[in-house]
Amino acid sequence: MSKSKGFTEADVPNQSGKCFIVTGANTGIGFEISRVLAERGARVLLACRDRAKAEAAMAQIRQATPRADLAFLPLDQADLASVRAAAELAAKEPRLDALINNAGVMTPPLMRTKQNFELQFGVNHLGTFALTALLLPKLAETRGARVVATSSVAHKGAKIEWDDLNADKGYNRFERYAASKFANALFFFELDRRLRAAGSQVTAAGCHPGMAATDLGRYMGAFQILNPLVSIVLNSAAKGAWPALQAATGPIKPGGYYGPRQLGGVRGVSGEASRSAEAQDPALARRLWDVSIAMTGIDPGLPPAS
């Protein structure tokens, strides 16, 4: 990968012998991540809610890569019991080289998780936090293992409603989505700090896909008619996968953040991306960490970084 070129799927090295979990893998960016990793020889666990959709995705991948090593991992990030069950199942794998947290929801009407959390914060952040925390011991068994968290350009300027995390007082679906992506950015920032302070061999990094035409915008109403235009002018799902692939397999900095390099970070080849100063605020990151433990009842077991 040259500095001017940036990172694309062509830069993903051979992954034979490695094992990856990709959440939300049956469609969109998650599917494209899984496709590329399978082509490179990795074992890929497609962590999805719907078995039929996961099996259809695996069949599609096998059309191009007949010997692809794929498996369905049942996971519903809107239910912490499902998250626990998925982590227990994944921990039985001989090794785990990377957890790619890709699953998410975007701008739905007010809905709640099984544990009664506001859906976007519950799925996008708390589900990611819980799954990562539960799989850290397994990841730590493999030298060079990585955790990838997917944020968004929407995190910039976002704020977390600390006194109304469950949207009992009010709900703006766009603001709540941005807040959940802000939480993703704070999470991998704090996770990296704590992993390094603990001397862990696990690396945490973040990414964002820019603007890509995927099923994530299913709640965008009339804006969905722009998807064909988005796929032409901005990023396809395949290109939107490049930053996650870079964060999971490429040369990166611990705690680094990767995304498209063109049009202000919304399209093109992947490289180092910019994030807000607030997304790198240790006090905010620690507050979110503590709140996440309290809400999920799941503690990653990493002491605070100084």
166: confidence class by pLDDT, cuts 50, 70, 90: very high
Q: Which of 177, 219, 257, 258 is catalytic?
A: 177
272: confidence class by pLDDT, cuts 50, 70, 90: very high
At 267 the pLDDT is: 74
Structure confidence by residue, pLDDT tens digits, 181-220 = 999 999 999 999 999 999 999 999 999 998 865 554 455 4
Which amino acid is residue 220, in one-letter code?
M
* pTM (two decimals): 0.93
- Averaged over 49-76, what is the pLDDT? 98
- Averaged over 86-95, what is the pLDDT? 98
At 3 the pLDDT is: 45
C-alpha to C-alpha distance for 255 and 247, rounded to whole angstroms? 10
At 266 the pLDDT is: 72
Question: 284 CB contacts (<8 Å, ≥6 apart)?
Answer: 160, 186, 278
Is residue 1 scored above 60 in pLDDT?
no
At 261 the pLDDT is: 82
**Is residue 177 flagged as an active site residue?**
yes
Contact 122, 115 (CB under 8 A): yes
At 222 the pLDDT is: 46
For the chain, what percentages of helix, strand and coil (3-state, to nearest 5) are there? 45, 15, 40
Is residue 265 scored above 80 in pLDDT?
no
Structure confidence by residue, pLDDT tens digits, 62-73 = 999 999 999 999
